[in-house]
A and B are shown apart, each in its own frame.
Chain A
Amino acid sequence: MSKEPENTEIQTPVWTPELLQQRRKRAAIMAVALLVFVGLFFWVTLVKLGVNVTNRPL
Protein backbone atom coordinates (compact mmCIF):
# COMPACT_ATOMS: atom_id res chain seq x y z
CA MET A 1 0.00 0.00 0.00
CA SER A 2 1.33 3.41 -0.89
CA LYS A 3 2.09 5.81 1.92
CA GLU A 4 -0.42 8.65 2.42
CA PRO A 5 1.02 12.15 2.10
CA GLU A 6 1.63 13.58 5.55
CA ASN A 7 -0.14 16.88 5.17
CA THR A 8 -3.41 16.60 3.28
CA GLU A 9 -5.25 19.19 5.34
CA ILE A 10 -6.56 22.05 3.25
CA GLN A 11 -5.91 25.29 5.02
CA THR A 12 -9.11 27.27 4.56
CA PRO A 13 -9.05 30.82 5.80
CA VAL A 14 -11.77 31.78 8.24
CA TRP A 15 -13.66 35.06 8.16
CA THR A 16 -13.64 36.26 11.74
CA PRO A 17 -16.08 39.07 12.75
CA GLU A 18 -13.12 41.50 12.82
CA LEU A 19 -12.06 40.57 9.29
CA LEU A 20 -15.64 40.86 8.04
CA GLN A 21 -15.96 44.30 9.58
CA GLN A 22 -12.65 45.30 8.01
CA ARG A 23 -13.92 44.05 4.63
CA ARG A 24 -17.18 45.98 4.97
CA LYS A 25 -15.24 49.16 5.75
CA ARG A 26 -12.95 48.62 2.75
CA ALA A 27 -15.94 48.01 0.49
CA ALA A 28 -17.65 51.18 1.73
CA ILE A 29 -14.54 53.28 1.10
CA MET A 30 -14.10 51.70 -2.33
CA ALA A 31 -17.71 52.59 -3.14
CA VAL A 32 -17.09 56.20 -2.11
CA ALA A 33 -13.90 56.31 -4.22
CA LEU A 34 -15.76 54.95 -7.25
CA LEU A 35 -18.58 57.47 -6.76
CA VAL A 36 -16.00 60.27 -6.62
CA PHE A 37 -14.46 58.95 -9.85
CA VAL A 38 -17.86 58.82 -11.56
CA GLY A 39 -18.65 62.32 -10.28
CA LEU A 40 -15.33 63.58 -11.60
CA PHE A 41 -16.07 62.10 -15.03
CA PHE A 42 -19.50 63.76 -15.05
CA TRP A 43 -18.14 67.13 -13.92
CA VAL A 44 -15.31 67.05 -16.48
CA THR A 45 -17.80 66.14 -19.22
CA LEU A 46 -19.93 69.16 -18.33
CA VAL A 47 -16.87 71.42 -18.36
CA LYS A 48 -15.72 70.06 -21.73
CA LEU A 49 -19.16 70.48 -23.28
CA GLY A 50 -19.38 73.97 -21.79
CA VAL A 51 -22.19 76.09 -23.19
CA ASN A 52 -22.72 73.51 -25.94
CA VAL A 53 -24.54 71.41 -23.36
CA THR A 54 -27.68 73.47 -24.10
CA ASN A 55 -27.03 73.75 -27.83
CA ARG A 56 -29.27 70.97 -29.09
CA PRO A 57 -32.77 70.62 -30.51
CA LEU A 58 -35.31 70.24 -27.74
Chain B
Amino acid sequence: MSQEYEETLAKMQGPASLDAGSAADYIALMKPRVMSLVVFTALVGMIMAPGGFGENGLHPVLAIAALALISVGAGASAALNMWYDADIDAIMTRTQNRPIPSGRVSKESALVFGLWVSGLAVMGMAVMINYLSAALLAFTIFFYAVIYTMFLKRATAQNIVIGGAAGALPPVIGWAAAANSLSVEPLIYFAIIFFWTPPHFWALALIKNDDYKAANVPMLPVTSGAKATLRQIVAYSIVLLGVTLLPYIMGFSGLFYAAGASILGLIFVGMCVLLAFSGDEQRNRIAGMTFVYSIFYLFLLFVLLPADKLVGA
Protein backbone atom coordinates (compact mmCIF):
# COMPACT_ATOMS: atom_id res chain seq x y z
CA MET B 1 0.00 0.00 0.00
CA SER B 2 1.18 3.51 -0.73
CA GLN B 3 2.82 5.70 1.87
CA GLU B 4 0.18 8.32 1.27
CA TYR B 5 -2.53 5.79 2.16
CA GLU B 6 -0.66 4.74 5.31
CA GLU B 7 -0.39 8.40 6.34
CA THR B 8 -4.08 8.93 5.73
CA LEU B 9 -4.94 5.88 7.83
CA ALA B 10 -2.65 7.14 10.60
CA LYS B 11 -4.37 10.52 10.44
CA MET B 12 -7.78 8.86 10.80
CA GLN B 13 -6.75 6.55 13.64
CA GLY B 14 -4.16 8.77 15.27
CA PRO B 15 -3.91 9.73 18.95
CA ALA B 16 -6.87 11.57 20.45
CA SER B 17 -7.29 14.03 17.63
CA LEU B 18 -9.16 17.28 17.96
CA ASP B 19 -12.05 17.58 15.60
CA ALA B 20 -11.12 20.20 13.06
CA GLY B 21 -14.28 19.67 11.01
CA SER B 22 -16.36 22.68 10.07
CA ALA B 23 -20.16 22.65 9.83
CA ALA B 24 -19.70 22.30 6.06
CA ASP B 25 -17.73 19.08 6.66
CA TYR B 26 -20.59 17.65 8.69
CA ILE B 27 -23.02 18.62 5.95
CA ALA B 28 -20.70 16.89 3.44
CA LEU B 29 -20.88 13.77 5.64
CA MET B 30 -24.61 13.69 4.89
CA LYS B 31 -24.09 13.52 1.09
CA PRO B 32 -26.38 16.50 0.31
CA ARG B 33 -26.69 15.68 -3.42
CA VAL B 34 -28.05 12.21 -2.64
CA MET B 35 -30.30 13.79 -0.01
CA SER B 36 -31.89 16.08 -2.60
CA LEU B 37 -33.04 13.12 -4.74
CA VAL B 38 -34.29 11.36 -1.60
CA VAL B 39 -36.33 14.41 -0.58
CA PHE B 40 -37.75 14.80 -4.05
CA THR B 41 -38.86 11.15 -4.43
CA ALA B 42 -40.31 11.18 -0.89
CA LEU B 43 -42.25 14.35 -1.76
CA VAL B 44 -43.71 12.64 -4.83
CA GLY B 45 -44.68 9.64 -2.65
CA MET B 46 -46.55 12.06 -0.38
CA ILE B 47 -48.29 13.86 -3.23
CA MET B 48 -49.41 10.58 -4.82
CA ALA B 49 -50.80 9.17 -1.55
CA PRO B 50 -54.58 9.22 -1.04
CA GLY B 51 -55.53 12.78 -0.19
CA GLY B 52 -52.07 14.08 -1.08
CA PHE B 53 -51.87 17.61 0.27
CA GLY B 54 -55.63 18.07 -0.12
CA GLU B 55 -58.29 18.46 2.56
CA ASN B 56 -58.05 14.85 3.75
CA GLY B 57 -54.33 14.62 3.16
CA LEU B 58 -51.24 15.64 5.04
CA HIS B 59 -51.14 19.14 6.52
CA PRO B 60 -48.38 21.19 4.80
CA VAL B 61 -46.58 21.72 8.12
CA LEU B 62 -46.54 17.96 8.74
CA ALA B 63 -45.35 17.42 5.16
CA ILE B 64 -42.45 19.83 5.71
CA ALA B 65 -41.59 18.11 8.99
CA ALA B 66 -41.74 14.65 7.38
CA LEU B 67 -39.55 15.72 4.46
CA ALA B 68 -37.02 17.33 6.79
CA LEU B 69 -36.87 14.19 8.93
CA ILE B 70 -36.55 11.87 5.91
CA SER B 71 -33.71 13.98 4.51
CA VAL B 72 -31.96 14.14 7.88
CA GLY B 73 -32.37 10.36 8.32
CA ALA B 74 -30.91 9.75 4.85
CA GLY B 75 -28.04 12.10 5.69
CA ALA B 76 -27.37 10.27 8.95
CA SER B 77 -27.14 6.92 7.16
CA ALA B 78 -24.69 8.52 4.73
CA ALA B 79 -22.55 9.68 7.68
CA LEU B 80 -22.55 6.13 9.05
CA ASN B 81 -21.57 4.87 5.60
CA MET B 82 -18.64 7.30 5.51
CA TRP B 83 -17.61 6.26 9.01
CA TYR B 84 -17.44 2.59 8.06
CA ASP B 85 -15.98 3.12 4.58
CA ALA B 86 -13.27 5.60 5.61
CA ASP B 87 -10.50 3.09 4.80
CA ILE B 88 -11.62 2.49 1.22
CA ASP B 89 -12.63 6.13 0.72
CA ALA B 90 -8.98 7.02 1.38
CA ILE B 91 -7.90 4.85 -1.55
CA MET B 92 -10.41 5.96 -4.18
CA THR B 93 -9.77 9.26 -5.97
CA ARG B 94 -13.52 10.01 -6.09
CA THR B 95 -13.79 9.89 -2.29
CA GLN B 96 -10.33 10.90 -1.05
CA ASN B 97 -11.49 14.43 -0.26
CA ARG B 98 -14.37 13.35 1.94
CA PRO B 99 -14.21 14.76 5.50
CA ILE B 100 -12.85 11.59 7.17
CA PRO B 101 -10.10 10.49 4.74
CA SER B 102 -8.91 14.07 4.46
CA GLY B 103 -8.58 14.18 8.26
CA ARG B 104 -11.04 17.03 8.83
CA VAL B 105 -13.52 14.92 10.81
CA SER B 106 -12.51 12.00 13.01
CA LYS B 107 -14.09 8.59 12.55
CA GLU B 108 -15.48 8.68 16.09
CA SER B 109 -17.15 12.06 15.52
CA ALA B 110 -18.75 10.82 12.30
CA LEU B 111 -20.07 7.72 14.07
CA VAL B 112 -21.50 9.70 17.00
CA PHE B 113 -22.99 12.26 14.62
CA GLY B 114 -24.57 9.56 12.44
CA LEU B 115 -26.06 7.66 15.38
CA TRP B 116 -27.47 10.76 17.08
CA VAL B 117 -28.98 12.21 13.94
CA SER B 118 -30.45 8.81 12.97
CA GLY B 119 -32.05 8.52 16.38
CA LEU B 120 -33.45 12.06 16.25
CA ALA B 121 -34.87 11.55 12.75
CA VAL B 122 -36.61 8.24 13.59
CA MET B 123 -37.88 9.51 16.94
CA GLY B 124 -39.12 12.74 15.36
CA MET B 125 -40.90 10.78 12.64
CA ALA B 126 -42.61 8.54 15.23
CA VAL B 127 -43.73 11.45 17.40
CA MET B 128 -44.63 13.99 14.72
CA ILE B 129 -45.86 11.86 11.81
CA ASN B 130 -46.70 8.18 12.42
CA TYR B 131 -45.12 4.90 13.53
CA LEU B 132 -45.28 3.27 10.09
CA SER B 133 -43.16 5.96 8.42
CA ALA B 134 -40.79 5.99 11.42
CA ALA B 135 -40.33 2.21 11.17
CA LEU B 136 -39.69 2.45 7.43
CA LEU B 137 -37.16 5.25 7.98
CA ALA B 138 -35.39 3.21 10.67
CA PHE B 139 -35.32 0.19 8.35
CA THR B 140 -33.90 2.31 5.50
CA ILE B 141 -31.10 3.67 7.70
CA PHE B 142 -30.35 0.16 9.01
CA PHE B 143 -30.41 -1.38 5.54
CA TYR B 144 -28.06 1.24 4.08
CA ALA B 145 -25.64 1.57 6.99
CA VAL B 146 -25.51 -2.07 8.10
CA ILE B 147 -26.73 -4.45 5.39
CA TYR B 148 -25.33 -2.56 2.40
CA THR B 149 -22.28 -0.79 3.84
CA MET B 150 -21.04 -3.41 6.29
CA PHE B 151 -22.00 -6.63 4.54
CA LEU B 152 -22.92 -6.34 0.87
CA LYS B 153 -20.56 -3.68 -0.43
CA ARG B 154 -17.34 -5.61 0.15
CA ALA B 155 -18.81 -9.09 -0.28
CA THR B 156 -20.68 -9.39 -3.56
CA ALA B 157 -20.94 -7.93 -7.03
CA GLN B 158 -24.69 -7.71 -6.42
CA ASN B 159 -23.98 -5.12 -3.70
CA ILE B 160 -25.72 -2.19 -5.34
CA VAL B 161 -28.52 -4.36 -6.72
CA ILE B 162 -29.66 -5.51 -3.26
CA GLY B 163 -28.43 -2.35 -1.53
CA GLY B 164 -30.49 -0.29 -3.98
CA ALA B 165 -33.50 -1.16 -1.84
CA ALA B 166 -32.40 1.49 0.66
CA GLY B 167 -32.39 4.22 -1.98
CA ALA B 168 -35.74 3.00 -3.31
CA LEU B 169 -37.61 3.36 -0.03
CA PRO B 170 -38.01 7.18 0.28
CA PRO B 171 -41.19 7.40 -1.89
CA VAL B 172 -42.64 4.55 0.20
CA ILE B 173 -41.80 6.49 3.39
CA GLY B 174 -43.37 9.62 1.88
CA TRP B 175 -46.52 7.67 1.03
CA ALA B 176 -46.65 6.11 4.52
CA ALA B 177 -46.18 9.55 6.11
CA ALA B 178 -49.20 10.89 4.24
CA ALA B 179 -51.52 7.85 4.26
CA ASN B 180 -50.33 5.93 7.34
CA SER B 181 -50.74 2.78 5.23
CA LEU B 182 -49.17 1.09 2.21
CA SER B 183 -50.55 -0.17 -1.08
CA VAL B 184 -49.36 -1.35 -4.49
CA GLU B 185 -48.58 2.14 -5.86
CA PRO B 186 -45.69 2.99 -3.50
CA LEU B 187 -44.30 -0.49 -4.13
CA ILE B 188 -44.21 0.30 -7.86
CA TYR B 189 -42.33 3.55 -7.11
CA PHE B 190 -39.96 1.42 -5.04
CA ALA B 191 -39.51 -0.97 -7.99
CA ILE B 192 -38.79 1.92 -10.37
CA ILE B 193 -35.87 3.18 -8.24
CA PHE B 194 -34.77 -0.37 -7.44
CA PHE B 195 -34.36 -1.29 -11.13
CA TRP B 196 -32.96 2.14 -11.98
CA THR B 197 -30.09 1.85 -9.46
CA PRO B 198 -27.95 -0.87 -11.14
CA PRO B 199 -27.59 0.73 -14.60
CA HIS B 200 -27.12 4.14 -12.95
CA PHE B 201 -24.41 2.93 -10.59
CA TRP B 202 -22.67 0.55 -12.99
CA ALA B 203 -22.25 3.37 -15.52
CA LEU B 204 -20.27 5.21 -12.82
CA ALA B 205 -18.45 2.01 -11.78
CA LEU B 206 -17.23 1.56 -15.36
CA ILE B 207 -15.60 4.98 -15.24
CA LYS B 208 -14.18 4.47 -11.74
CA ASN B 209 -13.19 0.84 -12.31
CA ASP B 210 -9.53 1.40 -11.33
CA ASP B 211 -10.63 3.05 -8.08
CA TYR B 212 -12.86 0.16 -7.08
CA LYS B 213 -10.16 -2.34 -8.10
CA ALA B 214 -7.57 -0.54 -5.95
CA ALA B 215 -9.96 -0.46 -3.00
CA ASN B 216 -10.85 -4.14 -3.52
CA VAL B 217 -14.57 -3.40 -3.78
CA PRO B 218 -16.22 -6.15 -5.85
CA MET B 219 -18.23 -3.94 -8.19
CA LEU B 220 -19.53 -5.80 -11.25
CA PRO B 221 -16.95 -4.28 -13.68
CA VAL B 222 -14.18 -5.41 -11.30
CA THR B 223 -15.44 -8.98 -10.82
CA SER B 224 -16.92 -9.73 -14.24
CA GLY B 225 -15.35 -7.18 -16.57
CA ALA B 226 -16.78 -4.45 -18.79
CA LYS B 227 -18.58 -6.71 -21.28
CA ALA B 228 -20.67 -8.53 -18.69
CA THR B 229 -21.44 -5.20 -16.97
CA LEU B 230 -22.59 -3.65 -20.24
CA ARG B 231 -24.90 -6.63 -20.91
CA GLN B 232 -26.39 -6.21 -17.44
CA ILE B 233 -26.81 -2.44 -17.93
CA VAL B 234 -28.78 -3.01 -21.14
CA ALA B 235 -30.89 -5.79 -19.55
CA TYR B 236 -31.74 -3.64 -16.53
CA SER B 237 -32.59 -0.62 -18.69
CA ILE B 238 -35.12 -2.74 -20.64
CA VAL B 239 -36.64 -4.18 -17.45
CA LEU B 240 -36.74 -0.64 -16.04
CA LEU B 241 -38.67 0.60 -19.07
CA GLY B 242 -41.28 -2.10 -18.43
CA VAL B 243 -41.45 -1.32 -14.71
CA THR B 244 -41.90 2.42 -15.33
CA LEU B 245 -45.00 1.60 -17.40
CA LEU B 246 -46.63 -0.35 -14.55
CA PRO B 247 -48.42 2.72 -13.11
CA TYR B 248 -50.21 3.09 -16.49
CA ILE B 249 -50.80 -0.65 -17.00
CA MET B 250 -52.29 -0.98 -13.51
CA GLY B 251 -54.44 2.09 -14.01
CA PHE B 252 -52.80 4.41 -11.47
CA SER B 253 -51.53 6.88 -14.07
CA GLY B 254 -52.80 8.11 -17.42
CA LEU B 255 -51.58 8.40 -20.99
CA PHE B 256 -49.63 11.56 -20.25
CA TYR B 257 -47.39 9.65 -17.85
CA ALA B 258 -47.18 6.59 -20.12
CA ALA B 259 -46.10 8.69 -23.12
CA GLY B 260 -43.47 10.59 -21.11
CA ALA B 261 -42.12 7.47 -19.40
CA SER B 262 -41.93 5.63 -22.75
CA ILE B 263 -39.97 8.41 -24.46
CA LEU B 264 -37.58 8.88 -21.52
CA GLY B 265 -37.15 5.12 -21.11
CA LEU B 266 -36.50 4.49 -24.80
CA ILE B 267 -33.83 7.21 -24.76
CA PHE B 268 -32.25 5.52 -21.73
CA VAL B 269 -32.34 2.08 -23.37
CA GLY B 270 -30.82 3.66 -26.49
CA MET B 271 -28.01 5.22 -24.47
CA CYS B 272 -27.30 1.93 -22.70
CA VAL B 273 -27.19 0.08 -26.06
CA LEU B 274 -24.88 2.78 -27.44
CA LEU B 275 -22.69 2.35 -24.37
CA ALA B 276 -22.65 -1.43 -24.84
CA PHE B 277 -21.45 -1.08 -28.44
CA SER B 278 -18.97 1.71 -27.76
CA GLY B 279 -15.26 1.12 -28.24
CA ASP B 280 -12.79 1.27 -25.38
CA GLU B 281 -11.82 4.87 -26.23
CA GLN B 282 -15.38 6.17 -26.21
CA ARG B 283 -16.68 4.07 -23.32
CA ASN B 284 -15.90 6.39 -20.42
CA ARG B 285 -17.38 9.42 -22.18
CA ILE B 286 -20.64 7.61 -23.04
CA ALA B 287 -20.76 6.01 -19.58
CA GLY B 288 -20.51 9.53 -18.10
CA MET B 289 -23.36 10.72 -20.32
CA THR B 290 -25.47 7.67 -19.38
CA PHE B 291 -24.82 8.30 -15.68
CA VAL B 292 -25.87 11.96 -15.93
CA TYR B 293 -28.92 11.12 -18.06
CA SER B 294 -30.00 8.42 -15.57
CA ILE B 295 -30.31 11.09 -12.84
CA PHE B 296 -32.26 13.34 -15.17
CA TYR B 297 -34.44 10.33 -16.20
CA LEU B 298 -35.39 9.40 -12.63
CA PHE B 299 -36.08 13.03 -11.76
CA LEU B 300 -38.39 13.47 -14.76
CA LEU B 301 -40.20 10.17 -14.10
CA PHE B 302 -41.05 11.42 -10.63
CA VAL B 303 -42.13 14.78 -12.07
CA LEU B 304 -44.40 12.99 -14.56
CA LEU B 305 -46.26 11.04 -11.84
CA PRO B 306 -47.82 14.07 -10.08
CA ALA B 307 -47.99 16.02 -13.36
CA ASP B 308 -50.17 13.25 -14.80
CA LYS B 309 -52.40 13.52 -11.73
CA LEU B 310 -52.79 17.25 -12.44
CA VAL B 311 -53.47 16.69 -16.14
CA GLY B 312 -56.03 13.98 -15.38
CA ALA B 313 -57.76 16.04 -12.67
List the interface of chain A (C-beta within 8 A of B): 11-15, 19, 22-23, 25-26, 29, 37, 40-41, 43-44, 47-48
Contact = CB atoms under 8 A, between A and B. Distances in A.
B146 to A, nearest CB: 25
Nearest to A45: B128
Nearest to A13: B18
Interface string B1-45: 000000000000001111111110010000000000000000000
Nearest to A15: B18
B126 interface: no
B288 interface: no
Given A11-B16, A13-B17, A47 B22 contact: no
B120 A22 contact: no
B260 interface: no
A44 B26 contact: no
Could you tell me the dominant secondary structure of chain A's interface residues? helix
B45 to A, nearest CB: 19
Nearest to B17: A13
Nearest to B61: A47
A7 to B, nearest CB: 11
B22 A22 contact: yes
A41 to B, nearest CB: 7
Contact of B65 (A14, A15, A29, A40): A40
Contact of B120 (A19, A23, A37): A37
B292 interface: no
Contact of B21 (A11, A22, A43): A22
Given A40-B124, A43-B65, 12 more contacts: A11-B15, A11-B16, A13-B18, A19-B18, A22-B21, A22-B22, A25-B23, A26-B26, A40-B68, A41-B124, A41-B127, A44-B65
Top 10 A-B pairs, shortest CB-CB distance: A11-B15, A29-B23, A13-B18, A44-B128, A47-B61, A47-B59, A44-B65, A40-B65, A26-B23, A19-B18
Contacts of A29: 23
Contact of B22 (A12, A14, A25, A48): A25
B46 to A, nearest CB: 15
B249 interface: no
